Amino acid sequence: MRRRRSTPMIDRKWGVPTSLGSRIPLASLIQTLAVAEYLNFRHAANALGVSLSSVSARVKTLEQDLGVLLFERHARGVRLTEAGRQFVEHVAAGVDQLDHAVKTAGMAASGECGRLRIGVHALIPRSFLAGLIGQYREDYPGIEVEITEGTARDAVMQLRADRLDIVFMAGTPELPDCHTRRIWTEPLVAALPDRHRLAKQAAVTWADLAGETFLARHGGTGPQVHDHIVLRLAGRWPASSIQRFDVERGTLLSMVGQGFGVTIVGAATSLLRTSDVTFLPVADEPEPVPFSAVWSPFNCSAALRNLLTLAREMGRTIPAD
């Protein structure tokens, strides 16, 4: 008896499903895999919770559509033919990939896997932000977290260009095309050399700091620090000078310790191990410095949503100042 020629399920030239491949029900493939596993139609039907006749009919129909014999039947069960073995191996791999795709899609939709790109002004050990990101990574180990450090202006530009998912920055920015939410606050402190005339005091005032040489960075929160100093010392005498440097936060604090000048920072910066520097609260600063999250209203990422939820929960339980 001449067998019907097998119809390919995948077009070799274009790599797209043929009409036959698109017609084969997934249930037929799954039942065929079960028969191949148990080498018995009745056992396969019991394992799947379907009738023996259903399994037998689906496998027979599949063999007819393919034009090949997948199983050799005998009284005690079945045995895979060579064509059946090849077919089952490829189908099993495809079903595994489909199962993985379904699970991955579900995990991505719930924010359990994927990627989250975060822009920060700094990530200081033991700070609120470091604790937030650390807890998030512990709660969602399947999310790849990418951290980018830079100025607030650069971070917002990257956010608008869809190169970042969320930005944390000092202040409460008003950006009409972005969502913003105040997340935590930090008291403002002055960083002085240990040998400074004010270093032994319990706190300082802005009047105490008049006439000092202030140091600020070009990057990070440097521009905001510069503007804040100008605002607080406007009209005071003696006049202060502000010197700006293209350095990292640690280098700027080292320069303070060496006597280049003083600076102001959020209280989290005082958690850094810095020799020869004293941190003192600014007694007449009206309120703690707020830090906000900024994100695009068009970003529907579940990973982002989970981070914002966690930030809100931690903000309720961890003192911000």
Q: What are the tens digits of pLDDT across the range 114-123? A: 999 999 988 8
Phi/psi of residue 167, nearest 5 degrees: -130, 135
- Give me the residue label for tokens 């804040």: 228
| Average pLDDT, rounded, for the chain | 87
How far is the C-alpha of 180 from the C-alpha of 166, rounded, in Å?
10
Flag whether pLDDT at 205 surpasses 80: yes
Stronger pLDDT, 8 or 321, i.e. the higher one: 8
Q: What are the tens digits of pLDDT across the range 83-118? A: 989 998 998 888 888 777 676 666 666 778 899 999
Q: What are the tens digits of pLDDT across the range 213-236? A: 999 998 878 888 999 999 999 988
Q: What are the tens digits of pLDDT across the range 51-63? A: 999 999 999 999 8
Phi/psi of residue 212, nearest 5 degrees: -75, 160
Flag whether pLDDT at 321 surpasses 80: no
Pick the CATH number of 114-185+290-316 from 3.40.470.10, 3.40.190.10, 3.40.225.10, 3.40.50.720: 3.40.190.10
The reported pTM is 0.67
Q: What are the tens digits of pLDDT across the range 32-44? A: 999 998 999 999 9
Dihedral in degrees, nearest 10, Cα atoms 36, 37, 41, 47: -140
Flag whether pLDDT at 306 surpasses 90: yes
Pick the CATH number of 188-287 from 3.40.120.10, 3.40.190.10, 3.30.360.10, 3.30.1490.20: 3.40.190.10
pLDDT of 227 reads 92
Flag whether pLDDT at 282 surpasses 50: yes
Pick the CATH number of 26-110 from 1.10.10.10, 3.10.20.340, 3.40.800.20, 3.30.450.40: 1.10.10.10
Classify residue 145 as exposed, middle or buried by CB count within 10 Å of its CB (0-12, 13-18, 19+): middle
How far is the C-alpha of 321 from the C-alpha of 289, rounded, in Å?
9
Helix (H) or strand (E) holding 139: helix 128-139
